[in-house]
Every structure is written in structure tokens, then in C-alpha cells.
Amino acid sequence: MRILVTGAAGMIGNKLSEYLCETGHKIIPVDVVQHDGVIDADLRYQATVFRLVKEYTPDLILHLAAMTNLRFCEQNKETAHATNYGITEVLTRACLEFGTRMIFFSSDYVFGKYDHFWQEDDPPCPTTQYGIDKAASELLIREQLSNYAIVRTAQLYGFAGDFVSLVCEALLSHQEFIAFANLVNCPTWIGDLFPMINQIINNGNHGIFHCVGPEAMSRYQYACEIAEAFYLDTSCIKAVNLDFSTDIRPPVVRINGASTYDTLQVNPGMLKDNLPLCSSYAMEATREQGML
Ligand SMILES: NC(=O)c1ccc[n+]([C@@H]2O[C@H](COP(=O)([O-])OP(=O)(O)OC[C@H]3O[C@@H](n4cnc5c(N)ncnc54)[C@H](OP(=O)(O)O)[C@@H]3O)[C@@H](O)[C@H]2O)c1
């Protein structure tokens, strides 16, 4: 399938593009960031998007481009809205004009106003500008398009620079690692996420999907599981409570993936089973810095 990937130079877009290429798809990578082999374009502009879709005739737009810094989005609401909702609006128009399917990368942060084990059809209740724009994008896609999938994911790990690497790096150098005991969501391994996305692409699944890991846990529990998996000293991990009067993240966001797992016939692994598969990059980063 010919897939135009937006945000293809980003943390996930870049790895997902590589994965989909390996599974036989033809990728048309686009990002505002200049990057080798990536088409450089600002997707907020309709003329740019229409020109790209006309020229490359994708079967599918896989839409990951976003402004993902929560604090920046909160402090620059109009700019964040112009990107996080604005690009979706323009892409939706292009999908309507050219009859293209869209898969939209959304977030667990469309929820968070209160604690609940969120199902796919629960009404969103975002607490941040980032979450508000993701929820508004979802609604627009649902109202305007007939051929779409919305993928909500959360707290991804499985690549250099993720939470796993940060914990390993601190503990291997015997530094204290401060981990929040009251900040909870569902760590999701990209080794589970990418095959789920590929299935949605190949099956043409329609609707909202919770492509998340099966466990909700605090950052403190998460850090302790990492330490145990790599035989590192848990006593360097310090549990601290985040002050939600100054931090904008929703405290607890638990996403229920059961129905999505059932539809896609997948069985995402538990954190303790996936962590050993992260050792190459998590330990490599520290080895490069001469910490081993
Ligand atoms: N990582 C996670 O744990 C996670 C969890 C839930 C959902 N998601 C969603 O998954 C997607 C990918 O996340 P990520 O972590 O890979 O984010 P990322 O690294 O920030 O990647 C997003 C990419 O989109 C680009 N972009 C921003 N504005 C653009 C524009 N006007 N035109 C074209 N490209 C533009 C960004 O460029 P700049 O860097 O220059 O802004 C960046 O390269 C996002 O939609 C995010 O909301 C991620």
C-alpha cells in the first residue's frame, strides 16, 4: 500500500515508517523537519497538502504530525491548535477531495478529567490543550470521513531515549532517579504497537482503537520494574508525588485495550516480559557513555 506518513521524522514516525517499509508498504515520508529521505513540508497549509496528495496519490494517510510538548502547547494554545487541530482539518479535506483513507494517531490524554478504565466509545474528557486538540481532531474525522481509524496510544517505549533508557542511564551511573508515584498511565511497547497498526492498515479496520499496553502503572512502579529487569539497584529510585497544582499532566489515565486486542486478535505483552527485549538500546546508550 502507498502510505503518506506525516511526522515521519519524529520519534515514532521515523521508526514506524521503517517498520512498515520492511513489511512491504511504500512509504511517502513527510515532516516539517528537514531530514534525509523525508519530504520537507509544513502540513498546516492546504495548498501544500493537496499538492502532495495529488503528486504521490497515497492509498492511506497515516497522520502522526503533531506538537507534542504538553507544556509548550498549554502556554501557546493558538499555535498548538493551528498544528494539532489545523493539520488534521487540512488532511481531512484532502481525504474527502481525493478519496483517501486516514489513520490518525491520537492519545490517552483525550481522557484524564477523572479516573476511569476508559473504553473506546467513552466520551473524551481532556484536561490539556494537547488533549483538547486531539479530541477535536478525532471528532472532526468521525464526522467527516467514512474510511478512517483512530489509534489512541500512550507512553511509548522501545527506542533509545525512552523512559527505559533514562532509568537505566541513571541507575548504571548510581545517580538518584526521581519517579512520580502518583502519575499513572499505560506503558506501551512499540513492538506491540507497530504490528497492531499494520493489522489496522491491512484489514482496513474502521473506528477507534486502544493500541496500548495491558497494564496501568505509576512512573515509580515502572522505574522499579525496569531496575528489576536489568538487575539494577532499586534503592536509587526515589518515589516522589507530583504537584498537580503546577504540573498540567492528568494524574491517572487508564486505557482499556481489551476490545481492540479482541478485534485485532493480538495479545500485547506485560512490561516485565518486554523489558529484556529493550536491553540492546537501553544498555547500549549507557555503554557508549562509558558507564559500563
Ligand atoms: N510518544 C508517545 O508516547 C505518544 C503517546 C501518545 C500519542 N502519541 C502521538 O503519536 C504521534 C507521534 O508522536 P512522537 O512522539 O513521535 O512525536 P514527535 O517526535 O514530536 O513527532 C511529531 C513530528 O511532527 C512534526 N510536525 C510538527 N508540526 C508539523 C507541521 N506543521 N507539518 C509537518 N510536520 C510537523 C514534528 O516536527 P517538530 O519536531 O519540528 O515539531 C515532529 O517531527 C503524535 O501525534 C503524538 O501525539 C505519541
Buried b (16+ CB within 10 A) or exposed e, 128-163: bbbbbbbbbbbebbeeebeebbbbbbbbbbbbeebb
Residue 227's SS3 state is: helix
Instruction: Say how many Å lie between the CA of residue 34 and the centre of ligand 1.
Output: 14
Instruction: Say how many Å lie between the CA of residue 200 and the centre of ligand 1.
Output: 20
Return d(Cα 96, Cα 42) in angstroms, integer: 20
Establish if 56 belongs to a structural domain: yes
State whether the beta carbon of 155 lies less than 6 angstroms from ligand 1.
Answer: yes
Ranges in the chain, pLDDT < 50: 291-292
State whether the beta carbon of 187 lies less than 6 angstroms from ligand 1.
Answer: no
State whether the beta carbon of 110 lies less than 6 angstroms from ligand 1.
Answer: no
167, 227 contact by CB (below 8 A): yes
Instruction: Say how many Å lie between the CA of residue 76 and the centre of ligand 1.
Output: 16
pLDDT at 287: 59
Return d(Cα 4, Cα 56) in angstroms, integer: 8
Question: How many structural domains are present in the chain?
Answer: 1
User: pLDDT, tens digit, for every residue of 168-217?
Assistant: 999 999 999 999 999 999 999 999 999 999 999 999 999 999 999 999 99
Establish if 227 belongs to a structural domain: no
Instruction: Say how many Å lie between the CA of residue 16 and the centre of ligand 1.
Output: 12
State whether the beta carbon of 107 lies less than 6 angstroms from ligand 1.
Answer: yes
State whether the beta carbon of 292 lies less than 6 angstroms from ligand 1.
Answer: no
Establish if 240 belongs to a structural domain: no
In sequence order, which residues have a C-beta less than 8 Å from that of residue 130 and are 6 or more positions away? Answer: 67, 68, 70, 73, 74, 80, 84, 107, 109
Cα 124–Cα 263–Cα 136 angle in degrees, nearest 5: 20
Establish if 182 belongs to a structural domain: no
pLDDT at 131: 98
Gyration radius from the chain CA atoms: 19
Establish if 113 belongs to a structural domain: yes
Instruction: Say how many Å lie between the CA of residue 65 and the centre of ligand 1.
Output: 5
Establish if 228 belongs to a structural domain: no
pLDDT at 280: 85
Output the nine-digit C-alpha cell for 27: 512509504
CATH number at residue 98: 3.40.50.720
Output the nine-digit C-alpha cell for 155: 507512553
Output the nine-digit C-alpha cell for 81: 491548535
Other beta carbons less than 10 A from residue 240's beta carbon? 14
Return d(Cα 163, Cα 175) in angstroms, integer: 15
State whether the beta carbon of 38 lies less than 6 angstroms from ligand 1.
Answer: no
Instruction: Name the residue of 5, 6, 19, 32 whose CB sits within 8 Å of the most ligand 1 atoms, as the mutation to test its pocket.
Output: 32
Residue 125's SS3 state is: coil
pLDDT at 253: 98
Give the bridge partners for 107, in sequence order.
Answer: 153
State whether the beta carbon of 188 lies less than 6 angstroms from ligand 1.
Answer: no
Q: Domain limits at 82? A: 2-157+187-214+253-269
Other beta carbons less than 10 A from residue 71's beta carbon? 13
Output the nine-digit C-alpha cell for 96: 474527502
